[in-house]
Each structure stands twice: as structure tokens, then as C-alpha cells.
A and B are shown apart, each in its own frame.
Chain A
Amino acid sequence: MQPQVQLTILIAEDSAADRLLLSSILRRQGHVVLTAANGVEAVDAFRRQTPHLVLMDAMMPVMDGFEAARQIKALAGETLVPIIFLTSLSENEALASCLEAGGDDFLAKPYNQVILAAKIKAMERLRRLQATVLEQRDQIARHHDYLLNEQRVAKAVFDKVAHSGCLNVAPNIRYLQSPYALFNGDLLLAAFTPSGDMHVLLGDFTGHGLPAAVGAMPLAEVFYGMTAKGYGLAETLREMNAKLKRILPVDMFCCATLLCLSFQRRSVEVWNGGMPDGYLHRIASGERTQLAARHLPLGVLSPEAFDDRTEVLPMALGDRVFLLSDGVIDTRDANDRLFGEQGLQRVFESNRQPDALFEEVQQALRDFGGQARDDVSMVEISLLQPAQITPPALVYSDSGQSCPLDWSVSFELRAATLKRFNPLPYLLQLLQEVHGLRAQSGALYSVLAELYSNALEHGVLGLDSSLKRDAGGFARYYQQRNACLDALQDGYVRVHLQVTPTGEGGCLTIRVEDSGKGFDVARVMQRPVDDIRLSGRGVSLIRQLGRNARWSDDGRSACVEFFWEALA
């Protein structure tokens, strides 16, 4: 026989001779033996010395084997202590009682050494199996706790990155998101640009847990960094895509919808890569425009193949954009039915009060039943009056001691550059070196942006801004813009910046020239400042925000000034 592991075995048997015999058999097999003559002694011995295995006589005085077995099993708890009943019971019912009492096997009398050894071996295998299972279960529970803790840490770090956004402070955003959304890959970011536009990103990373969260951090940094510097959607998209493509494994990506809402221009620029449809609700007509996914998710295509083309749609005051993650559509009820697009459309159809729509969707999801999911994210962004939106003051990281006060710089951007490069963030960075101008950053950026886009679109590209008269024309305008830009061969935009000190303060002169045909300056100046018209508002904006705005050279050259007093 193979050598056995030494076990401590408890024998509970009331016949002295049988007890003696069994002890000898077991000792010869190498085990340590404990003995008891009745059930009470057996339970007592078990409690004191916790043997590995118990051989229990069924019929004993004081307390019988069945009761003793029950008590021992209760004492053992999760650990397996095999109990082999010693019996010369032949009836099946009696045997069944052994098993019901918690017995794991039985041994008939007269004792057969070989059979006994085999049964002990088999029980020992089971005992070890149970012990392994419990150990692994405990290990898993410990690891699970570590994981939860790691997630907590990751979330704390992420919250520091994400706090620079405006989700909670902007009055025009309403949103719903689980605190654990991050670990389902759901991401919601919002930030103001220097000119007071708002960028919003609703994203959905593949995967769960930390891998999904880890991709969100670099993405959020790019989003906030570039938005704060005044980069447009296209550049931000290109950068985010390139970053994710570089750092994520091939099979991971991020579906995302990115918006730029301009309160001044009353438009929304959209890019949707792989997310469910967003919706633009027009309050006046009740019309709902789908913002469907026309692009691959971020992180799939190489920078060369990436498509950063956006759609631009006009918005009126009170109009709102509604975005949701696929957790909404995928919500299932107790019968495994899908809430689906139909569920959402039903809520849209029955909505009477636009302001209530957000709550109504939430309520519909609750009513639908099913489990609350961590990946249900929704956001509603409304277009309000610019005055109602106050972007937070920009924070500067320098000490503010010295700055350039008397300088000028000129740039000439030619066709190849105009196609792919946005100079505005750099110009703004430059101007922010002048501390006196910092308080007017918003206005500066808006004016620069307006001058540049006029020079590029109306000047170099020759687009007719009256196309932007209505929603359909709006879309055509931007399509034309992209087509013309792609085909551009010649042309230039020149930007001159001049800063001169005046007394305690100073003056910034901005001049932008283009190679286009110009326009009838006098006619445009005569037009009233019209709030509702979609087109031609650029000129009035420049006149309102800057000083001494003037156009020369048949409209090909625009000039405007900004002043500041001595800093306190």
C-alpha cells in the first residue's frame, strides 16, 4: 500500500473490543488515534482536538452517533471533517439516516483493513479539496478588495483631472451619470473655450474596470488642455484620436460625441464617432434632428486616415442638444425586453414641456424597471443668452512680474498652412503674456476668431455668408467651406499684432488682411445689429467687443484696438 499522510482520527465506538481493534488498525496505518465511548465524549474530543476524520458508531449510549455527527458538523462549519459511520446496519433506511445526519460514508462490520484504508484515502482527498476551495475563495475575496481599492484611487486621481471642467457650474447643462460610470468606460466632460464657447464630450470606452478608466485620463487632459487654449473641435479630435491610437491596445477604442456650442454664433458643431444618435431639439418648431454617428470611434484610425470633419447646425435660444450613452437603449426589464430606440421615441412623442424632457426620460427608465445600470449617462445642453453664461476666469501659472510691453509681430499664413493649421491658440498665448490684456481674454479671443474666420472664409475662400440664412443653408455653407478649403491652392491671411505702452497702460492693435476680393464695407456697416439673423453677425461683434474697428482696402484689411489701464 502507498504510504499515507498521517492524520488525527477520532474513533467513537461504545464496544471496548471494537474500539481497541480499530485503534490498532489505524495506528498500524500510521495515524494518530483519539477515542470516545459515546456521543458526548465524541463531541467533546472533537471540540478539544479537532481531528481530521471521525469514525462514528451509529448506536451509542448517552448520545447516539447521528446526533453526535450533527453537532460535530455544526462545530466544523465551513471546513470539511469527513465522518465515516461504523455500522452493521443492513437496512437501506438506516443507511439513509447516516447520510442525512451528515455522514460522508460508512464502514461495515466486521472491519476490513483494506477497505478502511481506501475510504480514509478517499475522504482525505475530499477534505483537501474543500480546504483548497475555501482558501481560493478567501484569496479571491482579498483580491477583490484590492481591486476595489485600486479603483477608488484611480477615481480620486481622475476627479482631480476632471474638476477643471464646467459640468457642475454651467447653468445650461443638465446631466445624469453614475459615480461609477468611469469604470464602465462612460465619460462626460465639459469646458469653456477662451471665447466663451462650450465644448462637451460624451464618451464610451470599450472594456470595464481599470482598463476603461485608464484611457479616460489622457483623453480628459487633452480635452481640457486644448479647449482652454482655444483649439477648435477638429484639432482637439485629431489630438485625442492620435493619443488613443498610440497608447491603447489595438482592440480598445473610445466611442465619442463631441460638441462645440457657440452662444455668440448660435450654432452647434458636432462630431459623432460610434455613439448612439444624439438629438437637437428645436423648441420653436418642435423638430428633432438626429445627430447620427458618421465616424469611427476614437483610437481606431491612424492620424493620416482620421476624419475630423464636423457638422454645423444652427440653434435658436432655448434649443437643446440631448446626448445619451448606449446604457439607456440597452436597459432591459425583468422579462429581458429592451427599452431601445422605441422606448426613447415614445418619451419624445409624449413630451409636452421641453424643460421636463430630461426628467421624463429618467422617469421612463425607472418605470421600465430592470436594474439601475452604471453606464446610463445622459446630458442636455441648452443654448442660452451669452450673458447668462459666465465662463470662469482663466487661471495663470506665472508670477506676473514681468511682461513684454512694446513689441509687434506679423504672420503670413499661406494656402497649405490655412488648410490644416489654426493659428488662434498661439496668438492668444502670445497675447496672454501681456498681463494687462488678461482680463479681456474672452473678448480678445472672440474678436481674433471672428477676424480670422472672416478673412479665411469670406476673403480667401470667397464664401457668401448669406447662405447661412436658414438651417439647410447652414449645412451647405459648411460643406462648401470644407470643400473649398480642401481645394485651396493660393491665397493668404496676414495677422499683425502690435503692443505699445500708453501712459500707465497700453494698446493692442490687431490687423488682419486677406487675399480675397473684399466686400462693400459701407453697405455692411449700415445694416442694423440684428440678433435673430444667422449670418453677418461677425462685423457687429467686432465693433462691440473691440475699439475703433475699421475696414480698409475694400474690406480686405480689418483693424481693431484693445486698451488697458494700469494694473492695480
Chain B
Amino acid sequence: MSVISEMSQDGQKLTISIKGRFDFAKHQQFRDAYENKELAAVVVDLKDATYLDSSALGMLLLLRDHAGGDDSDIRVVNSSSDVRKILAISNFDKLFDIS
């Protein structure tokens, strides 16, 4: 499974981990990870993500929209330097907490 989601015990934090290429092929899986859940805080863990393209950026936007838009609490963690660079050029650090 290349997209793994885990809800914390108290239901307050959802962690979605991506393994391999974060691209359009993972579209449905990524959506399924958060779709029918009550979202409070969300963490997207990119530790094992090798690559990120513009459709992945679109998927993050969909997640943000679903999680409350401007009121959402989404952190993107463990980004490799390549992934960090892509997020920086698109200025997504203005929308997401990226580390």
C-alpha cells in the first residue's frame, strides 16, 4: 500500500504517509485516506516519498479544501530536499506548514 492513513486514538490527528512517487496515480488512494472522516489536524508524512509533481500539489489543495480551507490545520512533514524545493517554488509554504 503506497498511501497509509492512521487516525490517532483520540481521533484528533490523521496521519497520511506517502510511499514512492506522489503523483496522479495515487489520486484515488489519497482521497480515500481522508474522505469520510472528521478532520481536525492532518499530517502528511513524505518521509518515503521520492517525487512530487503538480498533480500532487493539486491533491494537497483538495485535502486543504476538505479540511476547512483557510481554517484547516495541515502539516507536511519529513520532506526531502527535492520535495522541499518543489514546494518552495510553488510557494506552498504559504498555505501549509512544511518541514
Q: With the chains together, A294 CA to B91 CA distance in Å?
A: 7
Answer yes or no: A305 CB below 8 A from chain B CBs: yes
What's the minimum C-beta distance from A202 to chain B, rounded to whole angstroms? 14
Give the chain A neighbours of B59 by CB distance below 8 A: 251
Stretch at the interface among A37-45, A295-303, A479-487: A295-303
Answer yes or no: A253 CB below 8 A from chain B CBs: yes
Answer yes or no: A459 CB below 8 A from chain B CBs: no
Answer yes or no: B54 CB below 8 A from chain A CBs: yes
Q: Give B92's nearest chain A residue, CB to CB.
A: A296
Answer yes or no: B89 CB below 8 A from chain A CBs: yes
- Whether the Cβ atoms of B91 and A274 lie closer than 8 Å is yes
Answer yes or no: A276 CB below 8 A from chain B CBs: yes
Cross-interface CB contact of A296 among B54, B62, B65, B90, cutoff 8 Å? B90
Answer yes or no: A63 CB below 8 A from chain B CBs: no
Q: Give B85's nearest chain A residue, CB to CB.
A: A341
- Whether the Cβ atoms of B90 and A250 lie closer than 8 Å is no
Answer yes or no: A8 CB below 8 A from chain B CBs: no
Q: With A250-B61, A305-B70 as given contacts, are A293 and B55 in contact (CB-CB < 8 Å)?
A: no
Q: With A206-B54, A251-B58 as given contacts, are A293 and B89 in contact (CB-CB < 8 Å)?
A: yes
Q: Give B66's nearest chain A residue, CB to CB.
A: A250
- Whether the Cβ atoms of B95 and A251 lie closer than 8 Å is no
- Whether the Cβ atoms of A252 and B90 lie closer than 8 Å is no
Q: With the chains together, A274 CA to B91 CA distance in Å?
A: 6
Residues of B in contact, count (CB < 8 Å): 15
- Whether the Cβ atoms of A300 and B89 lie closer than 8 Å is no
Give the chain B neighbours of A294 by CB distance below 8 A: 91
Q: With the chains together, A529 CA to B84 CA distance in Å?
A: 50
- Whether the Cβ atoms of A206 and B55 lie closer than 8 Å is yes
- Whether the Cβ atoms of A206 and B91 lie closer than 8 Å is no
- In this complex, the member of A292, A300, A302, A305 whose beta carbon has the largest number of chain B beta carbons within 10 angstroms is A300
Answer yes or no: A462 CB below 8 A from chain B CBs: no
Q: Give A304's nearest chain B residue, CB to CB.
A: B70
Answer yes or no: A444 CB below 8 A from chain B CBs: no
Q: Give B58's nearest chain A residue, CB to CB.
A: A251
Give the chain B neighbours of A305 by CB distance below 8 A: 70
- In chain B, positions 43-99 with a C-beta closer than 8 Å to chain A are 54-55, 57-59, 61-62, 65, 70, 89-92, 94-95
- Whether the Cβ atoms of A206 and B89 lie closer than 8 Å is no
Q: Give A295's nearest chain B residue, CB to CB.
A: B91
Q: With A206-B54, A251-B55, A273-B91 as given contacts, are A300 and B70 in contact (CB-CB < 8 Å)?
A: no
Q: With the chains together, A397 CA to B65 CA distance in Å?
A: 43
- Whether the Cβ atoms of B90 and A255 lie closer than 8 Å is yes
- Whether the Cβ atoms of A274 and B58 lie closer than 8 Å is no
Give the chain A neighbours of B94 by CB distance below 8 A: 296
Q: With the chains together, A207 CA to B59 CA distance in Å?
A: 12
Q: With the chains together, A302 CA to B71 CA distance in Å?
A: 13
Q: With the chains together, A293 CA to B91 CA distance in Å?
A: 7
Q: With the chains together, A141 CA to B95 CA distance in Å?
A: 42
Give the chain B neighbours of A251 by CB distance below 8 A: 55, 58-59, 61-62
Give the chain A neighbours of B92 by CB distance below 8 A: 296
Q: With the chains together, A275 CA to B91 CA distance in Å?
A: 10
Q: With the chains together, A297 CA to B92 CA distance in Å?
A: 9
Q: With the chains together, A297 CA to B60 CA distance in Å?
A: 14
- Whether the Cβ atoms of B90 and A274 lie closer than 8 Å is yes
- Whether the Cβ atoms of A250 and B91 lie closer than 8 Å is no
Give the chain A neighbours of B91 by CB distance below 8 A: 273-274, 293-297
Cross-interface CB contact of B89 among A207, A252, A276, cutoff 8 Å? A276
Apart from A207-B55, A276-B89, what are 9 other A-B pairs with CB-CB below 8 Å?
A: A250-B61, A250-B62, A251-B55, A251-B61, A255-B54, A296-B90, A296-B95, A297-B90, A305-B70
Nearest 8 A/B pairs, CB to CB: A251-B58, A274-B90, A206-B54, A296-B91, A250-B65, A251-B62, A293-B89, A251-B61
What residues of chain B have their CB less than 8 Å away from a CB belonging to chain A? 54-55, 57-59, 61-62, 65, 70, 89-92, 94-95
What residues of chain A have their CB less than 8 Å away from a CB belonging to chain B? 206-207, 250-253, 255, 273-276, 292-297, 300, 302, 305
Sample of 19 A–B contacts (CB below 8 Å): A206-B54, A206-B57, A206-B58, A207-B55, A250-B61, A250-B65, A251-B55, A251-B62, A253-B57, A253-B61, A255-B54, A274-B90, A275-B89, A292-B89, A295-B91, A296-B90, A297-B90, A300-B61, A302-B70
